[in-house]
Structure 1
Amino acid sequence: MPPTTPRIELPSVLEGRWQALRRLRSAVDDALDRALQAEHGISASEYAALAALAYSDDGGHLRQQVLADAIPLQQSSLSRLVSRLERTGLTERFHCPTDRRGVYTQITDRGREVVAAARTTYVAVLERSLAEACGDPELAPLVEHFRHA
């Protein structure tokens, strides 16, 4: 007899939906990471940071804490991510002129070019990953919520 996959039934609907959302996010993030890395040399987190900067209403710069909340990432993880983006010339950091403790991240022209080019890949992979997730009965309702919200 072929082995069967165990069925996991969490104690409440809320827990089951939360677990399904975590599974959906993991699958989509993995697909985005692979495609963005292969085609543009950036991770999904790097894309998210660049997109937040590029599409902010503050001229392409954000205080690091605002950027961390927007992605979302822990402050220490954001510092490493911003350092990588800065080393590759996609962002630059500067101190707030009125509060020297405040650190801002600014997207560069090159960063804007990368995020614009990567956006096509990002949206295509996002759409494809969500369509694939519709085949899973636990994930399909979540996908439908995103598509029709």
Structure 2
Amino acid sequence: MAKLVRFTDKQRMQTLAEFRYALRQFLHFSEERAAEAGLHPQQHQLLLHIAGAPDGVETTVSYAAERLGLRHHSVVELSKRCEEAGLIARRHDATDKRFVLLQVTPQGRRVLRALSDDHERELSELVPRLIGSLNLIRKSGMHRVQADSDPGDRGDLK
């Protein structure tokens, strides 16, 4: 069993801040690459979630809305823009016309492949930092409430 290392509040905040910074760097990188490819970041994310859906999962508008954290009507509009750009095809489900299925087109796959290559390279550099932060979080027991903490402590840093 891993030994728990007690962190001070300052160390906890530094570790969490570093992890959040690394995540934000990756998101910024992703947004920039999408723009360079002529896509809005949400268009890139939609393509990625459609192409990366697990086998047997219907890539409906509802599925995409859940994965993107958007409302159904927002994904309808986003998918229409992607269809107009030739990135995806939309079609009604054969058995239930209420469902719209989304599929990445060959053009969309080419764009997504190029973006994914860039993202893999960036992640290969970033992953060690993310893993290091996660290991520190795990070893410190940050996910547990410390029994020795002062109940009156509001988390103010000193």
TM bucket (normalised to shorter chain) is: 0.5 to 0.7
User: Does 2:27 match 1:29?
Assistant: yes
* CA distance, structure 2, for counterparts of residue 83 and residue 144 of structure 1: 44
- Tell whether the 8 Å contact from 1:130 to 1:143 is kept in structure 2 after alignment: no
Match of 1:141 in 2: 133
Asked which structure has the greater RCO (Cα within 8 Å, sep 6+), the reply is 2
> Any gaps of 5 or more consecutive residues in structure 1?
1-8
CA distances 1:49-82 after superposition (whole Å, capped 9, x unpaired): 21222233259x6111112222333323322321
Match of 2:101 in 1: 104
Task: Choose 1 or 2 for highest CA Rg.
Answer: 2
- Tell whether the 8 Å contact from 1:93 to 1:105 is kept in structure 2 after alignment: yes
Task: After TM superposition, give the deviation of residue 20 of structure 1 in Å.
Answer: 6.7
Match of 1:70 in 2: 67
Q: 1:140 to 1:85 in 2, by over 3 A?
A: same
Q: 1:143 to 1:79 in 2, by over 3 A?
A: farther
The TM-score normalised by the length of structure 2 is 0.60
Match of 1:115 in 2: 112
Taking only the aligned residue pairs, the percentage that are identical comes to: 21
The TM-score normalised by the length of structure 1 is 0.63
RMSD over equivalenced CA pairs, Å: 3.4
Matches within 5 A, 1:85-104: 85-104=82-101
- Tell whether the 8 Å contact from 1:63 to 1:102 is kept in structure 2 after alignment: yes
Specify the SS of the correspondent of 1:62. coil
User: Does 2:45 match 1:48?
Assistant: yes
> Any gaps of 5 or more consecutive residues in structure 2?
1-8, 138-158
Q: Tell me the number of residue pairs that the alignment of Structure 1 and Structure 2 aligns.
A: 126
Specify the SS of the correspondent of 2:113. helix
